[in-house]
Amino acid sequence: MRRLFKILGSLIPVAFATLMVTSANAQELQRLLPGVTFAANAWEVTTSVDGHISALHFSEGEFVSEGDLLVEMDASAAALEVQLAEVKLARAEAILTEGRSDLERQQELERREAVSIAALGDAEFNVEVFELDLKVAEAELAIAREELQRHSIYAPADGLISAPKVVVGGNYSAALSGAIANIVQLDPIHVRIPIRPEEVVRRIQEGGYTLEEARKLEFEMIGPNGGAYSELGYAVSVGFDMNLETGEGSVIVEFPNPEGYLRPGLRVHLRVKE
């Protein structure tokens, strides 16, 4: 039931995305900057463990929270490795306890001059070795427990999750299978708009605005249906690539998206707020 509510909740923004108010006419849209929304951040759901997929706990388009259990892999062999490491640790502890008792006996005999120096040295050496064996056993148990934990895969961040790329009952290879799913951040969301660098420089030179003012420009968004989005955006960076044929670069504008109404891939238009 809880998962049903989560899935239904994730569908609400899809409906609301088309309900932004304040329409813009077709002539106005022609003067706006076209853009496409994309996720500000994205993560892969993956693991370094090879194994058998035993359960999936998410569906395509579902909102997930950081720490949510997403995937379970068959962990029977890993659980046995933990049990074996625990037994080895208990054995190492018992041997060390016995070795320390033997050393105490040898030290007592040495005080009575009833034991050779060689025998006492052997007892001291054995304790040093047993202490090292204990540290090895502790490390092996920690490694086994870490390996067991990797068979349960959790969401690395809050966001919208893709369809699973594996199926229950299938085998997963860390080297060959790729990501199990992808998670995209919706709040904030980014929009990439084209710009001509020489046009920006010209407007600054003509006094349209200063470089500092250009950094603080506020952007309004017009959605796919011509409705204005309620939040304002701000330029956060310049795109890395430039179109060598057109001479166009791009600017990335960030918009708050607290309700998750906007999704990656929407074609929108932006304008500078007057």
- Taking only the tens place, the pLDDT of each residue in 214-231 is 667 888 999 888 888 989
205-239 in b/e form (b: 16+ CB < 10 A) is: eeeeeeeeeeeeeebbbbbeeebebebebebeeee
CATH number at 88 reads 1.10.287
Mean per-residue pLDDT, 187-211: 70
pLDDT at residue 212 in the model: 64
Question: Domain boundary at 122, 149, 176, which?
Answer: 149
pLDDT at residue 13 in the model: 41
**pLDDT at residue 19 tops 50:** no
Of 102, 109, 108, nearest to 124 (Cα)?
102
Q: How many CB atoms lie within 10 A of CB 244?
A: 7
Specify if 23 maps to a domain. Answer: yes
**Going along the chain, which residue ranges are E strands?**
33-39, 42-45, 51-56, 63-64, 69-73, 152-154, 159-161, 171-172, 181-184, 189-195, 218-222, 233-238, 249-255, 267-272
Supply the range of the domain harboring residue 115. Answer: 76-149
pLDDT at residue 259 in the model: 86
Question: Domain boundary at 126, 149, 172, which?
Answer: 149
Same-domain pairing of 192 and 272: yes
Number of domains present in the structure of the chain: 2
The token duo for 55 is 């359960």
Cis amide linkage into residue 256, ω under 30° from 0: no
- Condensed to tens digits (0 to 9), the pLDDT of residues 139-191 reads 999 999 999 999 999 999 999 999 999 999 999 988 888 899 999 999 999 99
**pLDDT at residue 40 tops 60:** yes
Question: Domain boundary at 94, 128, 149, which?
Answer: 149
Specify if 166 maps to a domain. Answer: no
The rounded distance, in Å, linking the Cα atoms of 64 and 159 is: 6
Same-domain pairing of 80 and 21: no
Compute the mean pLDDT over every residue in the chain, rounded to the nearest whole number.
Answer: 82
